[in-house]
Every structure is written in C-alpha cells, then in structure tokens.
C-alpha cells in the first residue's frame, strides 16, 4: 500500500498540466501527458487481493489500474517510464497510465472502456481452463461498470463455465462525476452477482486485513474448483475522478469522510496497537519513497520513442486505413 501511494502521489505531481480540459493547453513542462486516474484511498483492495495471487495468475484492470499493476508485481521503474511515455516503459510508451499492461507478471491490461476488462478476464480464465492450467484470474472493476452490459455477460459466462475467476468490484460510490447510487437499480452488485450464480461477499475495502482474509477465502474456493466468486469491496476515492478534476460536484463532507477512512492510516494504527514499532513503519514509507525517486530518475533518463516506431507492436487493422 505504501508503494502504491508513493507511486501515485509522485505520478500526480508529474502530470500537473498534462491533461487539457475545457479548451486548456497542455503545459509543455508536464512529464506525464493525458488522463491519470489515481487510486489513492483504495490501495487496500489491490494489496489485500493481490497478495494471494501467484505470478502465474492473471489480472485485468480498469482505468484506475496503477495499484493493481504494482501489486501484481510489475517493475515500478518500467511502470513510471510507461506513464512518462518513454522507450523503457512496460509498453514502450504506447500504453500510458490507462492502457498499461505487463504480461511478464500476468497483468493483462488496464482499460479505458468502463467494464471492458470483464469479458477479457472471462476469456483469460476460459483459456486457463482449456489449457488445463491451475491458475486463476482476478478482474478489478469499479461500481460504475455494474450498470454496463459486459458485467452481465461476463458473470453469466463465468457461472455457466465455472471459470476460475475472482471478480473484484471496487465500490468507491462514484462513477466519474456521478454518484453511482443515483443510477443503480435494485440492491446492488452482490445481489446481482448472486442472481447470476456467482457467490458474492461484501467487505470493508479500506481495511487491508479484512480484504486479505476475505479474498484468501474466496480465492481458496476458486482454486478448489468451485467456480467464480465476487468480492465487493467498499472503499473511498480520495482524489478527483481524474488528475485535473476539482470535484465541484462533491460535498466537502464526503471528501472528508474519504480522507478519514485512509486505509494506510488504518493499517498503521492497527499495527502500532499490536506492537509494531514506529520506526519499522517509517522505514516502509521511506523505502517506498526512495523506490519512487529511483523510478522517476529511470523514467527521465529513458528516451522518448522514435516516431517511426508508432505503428510497431500495435494491432494490425488491415491495409492503410491507420495511416
């Protein structure tokens, strides 16, 4: 959690001025260009689930995917270089924050299309099953995605084929600038999952120990061949939807609630109460900061890609039309 937090705080700073809204110009000094969605306040979900994944397990993510990618084991230096759009990035600078992937650690990709990771996760889980492999897939998505068609299709498919798949709904109660409750019918994600034959469990997504214990159990059931499961993790988005978002649509009290539910602070308090020494916790934080500083130095030293490389290693869509 400390590594995710430090990474995203630094990435946010490097992206100031790099995302133009409402006719603004991009600031040429911005190191990171384009939209950056921070998961600050939600780190316990990524950390609590991914500690139970093996490197050979697979993962799909949403547009808010830095935490999932780090927790799955991606190299932080190459991740930062990716956000900076540089050659040494995990995707040679072509993915950026929102389409980062690292197949070497089973991270199949963040995704700019809400809900699009769910059917991809099904495909990956089906492939594991067909190939007789023992791994599982974890599929992270936001509460907004449950109101899109792919949610229904993916859960139904996963149930029918009893796929080794953990769906993880990170419920921060916001879908961009809209309160998700304002456009969600019925009792919510866990009931929808149960109706589609996927056993679901809700938990406090800001308590990393609760997330860890719940996902350990659900992942154990999946690995035992009992089929898909859904974890509904209630959490809080501390920052705006995207880096430049000033959150004019959100009550100050709601932001304050999100801040005071900080999962890192809660973990620190809990560990101190149980006897962990303060210097030990401070050391974790300072090591994370040091790692991030090294990642920034690595990203800055990496060259920008050659424009001639723009069309290499991307999907071929046929003759000419791209150009």
Residue ranges in contact with ligand TPP by CB under 6 A? 62-64, 112-114, 142-145, 172, 174-176, 180, 237, 241
| Phi and psi torsions of 116, nearest 5° | -70, -20
Token pair for 65? 């995917």
Closest contact distance (angstroms) between CB of 47 and ligand TPP is: 16
Closest contact distance (angstroms) between CB of 154 and ligand TPP is: 14
Do 129 and 91 contact (CB within 8 A), yes or no?
no
Closest contact distance (angstroms) between CB of 242 and ligand TPP is: 8
Q: What span, in angstroms and rounded, lies between the C-alpha atoms of 57 and 145?
A: 23
Closest contact distance (angstroms) between CB of 169 and ligand TPP is: 9
Residue bearing tokens 């959100």: 250
- Which residue's CB is nearer to ligand TPP, number 42 or number 215? 42
- Which residue's CB is nearer to ligand TPP, number 3 or number 63? 63
- Which residue's CB is nearer to ligand TPP, number 183 or number 311? 183
**CA proximity to 45, closest of 175, 176, 170:** 170
The side-by-side arrangement of strands in the sheet containing 58-60 is 58-60, 137-142, 165-171, 229-234, 200-204
- Which residue's CB is nearer to ligand TPP, number 43 or number 88? 43
- Which residue's CB is nearer to ligand TPP, number 63 or number 68? 63
- Which residue's CB is nearer to ligand TPP, number 62 or number 206? 62
**CA proximity to 67, closest of 160, 168, 165:** 168
Q: What span, in angstroms and rounded, lies between the C-alpha atoms of 216 and 231?
A: 11
Token pair for 40? 């600050």
Rg, C-alpha atoms of the chain:
19
Closest contact distance (angstroms) between CB of 237 and ligand TPP is: 6
**Among all residues, whose Cβ is closest to ligand TPP?**
142
Closest contact distance (angstroms) between CB of 238 and ligand TPP is: 12
DSSP 156-197: HHHHHTT-SEEEEEEE-SEETTEEGGGG--TT-HHHHHHHTT
CB neighbour class for 167 (10 Å; exposed up to 12, middle 13-18, buried from 19): buried
Q: What span, in angstroms and rounded, lies between the C-alpha atoms of 84 and 79?
A: 9
Closest contact distance (angstroms) between CB of 264 and ligand TPP is: 18
Q: What span, in angstroms and rounded, lies between the C-alpha atoms of 60 and 51?
A: 15
Closest contact distance (angstroms) between CB of 295 and ligand TPP is: 23
- Which residue's CB is nearer to ligand TPP, number 62 or number 302? 62
- Which residue's CB is nearer to ligand TPP, number 128 or number 200? 200
Q: What angle do CA 292, 298, 299 make, to 5 degrees?
A: 90
């Amino acid at each position: 959690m400390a590594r995710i937090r430090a990474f995203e705080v630094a990435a946010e700073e490097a992206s100031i001025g790099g995302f133009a809204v409402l006719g603004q110009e991009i600031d040429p000094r911005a190191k990171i260009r384009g939209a950056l969605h921070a998961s600050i306040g939600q780190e316990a979900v990524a950390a609590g689930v991914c500690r139970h994944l093996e490197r050979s397990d697979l993962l799909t993510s949403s547009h808010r995917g830095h935490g999932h990618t780090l927790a799955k084991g991606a190299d932080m230096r190459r991740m930062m270089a990716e956000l900076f759009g540089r050659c040494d990035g995990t995707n040679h600078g072509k993915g950026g924050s929102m389409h980062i992937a690292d197949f070497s650690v089973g991270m199949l990709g963040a995704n700019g299309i809400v809900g699009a990771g769910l059917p991809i996760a099904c495909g990956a889980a089906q492939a594991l099953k067909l190939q007789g492999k023992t791994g599982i897939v974890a599929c992270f998505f936001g509460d907004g995605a449950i109101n899109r068609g792919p949610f229904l299709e993916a859960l139904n498919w996963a149930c029918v084929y009893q796929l080794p798949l953990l769906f993880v709904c990170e419920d921060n109660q916001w879908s961009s600038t809209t309160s998700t409750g304002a456009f969600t019918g019925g009792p919510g994600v866990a009931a929808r999952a149960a109706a589609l034959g996927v056993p679901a469990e809700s938990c406090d997504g800001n308590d990393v120990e609760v997330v860890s214990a719940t996902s350990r159990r659900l992942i154990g059931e999946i690995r035992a061949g009992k089929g898909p499961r859904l974890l509904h993790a209630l959490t809080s988005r501390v920052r705006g939807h995207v880096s430049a978002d000033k959150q004019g649509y959100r009550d100050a009290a709601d932001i304050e609630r999100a801040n005071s539910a900080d999962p890192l602070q809660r973990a620190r308090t809990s560990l101190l109460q149980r006897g962990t020494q303060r210097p030990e916790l401070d050391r974790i934080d300072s090591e994370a900061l040091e790692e991030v500083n090294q990642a920034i130095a690595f990203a800055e030293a990496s060259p920008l890609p050659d424009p001639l490389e723009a069309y290499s290693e991307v999907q071929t869509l046929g003759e000419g039309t791209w150009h």
